[in-house]
Amino acid sequence: MTEPRIWTAALIVIGDEILSGRTPDKNISQIALWLNVQGIRLKEVRVVPDDQAAIVEAVNALRARNDYLFTTGGIGPTHDDITVDAIAAALGVGVVVHPQARAALEQYYATRGGLNDQRLRMARVPEGADLIENRLSGAPGIRIGNIFLMAGVPYIAGEMLEALNGALDGGRPLLSETVGCWVPESEVANLLADTEKAHEGCQIGSYPFFREGRVGANFVVRSTEPAILHACIDDLARRLKARGFDVVLGEI
C-alpha cells in the first residue's frame, strides 16, 4: 500500500495580547479542528508579537515547508495591525488597496459613519492577493499564494473559515476514537506502547486527568484508515478490560 499524501498547514498567531497573557488564544484549536475536516493536518504553530521582523521570520520559515500557512490577528484598522505589511515584506511585494475590499467596506460603513482613511486600511492587501469573505464586519480575510490571513477575533476567524469550507485541496482526514479508563496511565504505559506497535498506521495518545478524587486517562487513537483505527481501538479496550479496568467507549 502506498502511503497517502499528507497535506499540512502551519499557523502563526500574531499578537502581543496573546504573549502578554491578556487574551487566552482560541484560534489554535478552532483552526486545528477545521483543518482536520478539510483533510489537512496542523503541523506547527508559532505565536509572535506585533513586530514585523518576527512575523517575517515565521512566515518565511513556515510557508515553504507546509502546503498552507494561516495567520490570525493584525488585519484591523489600528496602528498595531501590521500583518498585511509584514506578509508583503516577507513575500517581497508591495501593498495595494483591493478594489473589492474597498467596495465591501464602503457598503458596510455606509450606515455606520462612512468610510474614512483609517477604515480604508482594512482594504490594503499584499499585491496579487484575493479576498476571503467576511459577512460579519466588512473587513475581509486575505489569501495570497498559500497564505491565508484571518481575523484575530475568534468568531470572525470562524466566519472566514466557513467561507473557505471545501475550497482547499486536502487528503484523508486524521480520524480519532477515544477510550476512557479509570486507571493511572503509569499502570498501563507498556500496554499502550505494545498496542500501538501491534497496529501500524495508528498513534495512541494518553491524556491523564484527576476528577472527583479519582485518577483516569483518555486514550486517543489516531489514524487516517478507518479499518485500522477500529481494530486498534477494539484491541485497546479488550486489553484494558482483560487487566480488569473500567473502560468507557468514548471520552470520560
Q: Which residues bind its own copies (CB under 8 A)?
A: 13, 15-26, 28-33, 35-36, 41-50, 54, 76-80, 112-113, 116-119, 121-122, 137, 153, 174, 176, 184-190, 192-193, 196, 203-210, 220, 222
Least Cβ distance, residue 209 to its own copies (angstroms): 7
Closer to its own copies by Cβ: residue 4 or 128: 4
Least Cβ distance, residue 180 to its own copies (angstroms): 13
Least Cβ distance, residue 102 to its own copies (angstroms): 14
C-alpha cell, 131 = 479576498
> Cell 512566515 appears where?
59
C-alpha cell, 185 = 496511565
What one-letter code names the amino acid at 26? K
Closer to its own copies by Cβ: residue 77 or 145: 77
- DSSP, collapsed to helix, strand or coil, labels residue 138 as coil
Residue 135 to residues 98, 157, 181, Cα–Cα distance (Å):
17, 11, 44
Least Cβ distance, residue 187 to its own copies (angstroms): 7
The answer to whether 159 and 199 have CB atoms below 8 angstroms apart is no
Cα of first residue to Cα of last residue in the chain, in angstroms, is 35
Closer to its own copies by Cβ: residue 54 or 93: 54
Q: Which helix (H) or strand (E) holds 175?
A: strand 175-181
SS3 readout for 177-211: EEEEECCCHHHCHHHHHHHHHHCCCCEEEEEEEEE
Least Cβ distance, residue 1 to its own copies (angstroms): 22
Closer to its own copies by Cβ: residue 120 or 128: 120
Closer to its own copies by Cβ: residue 92 or 250: 250
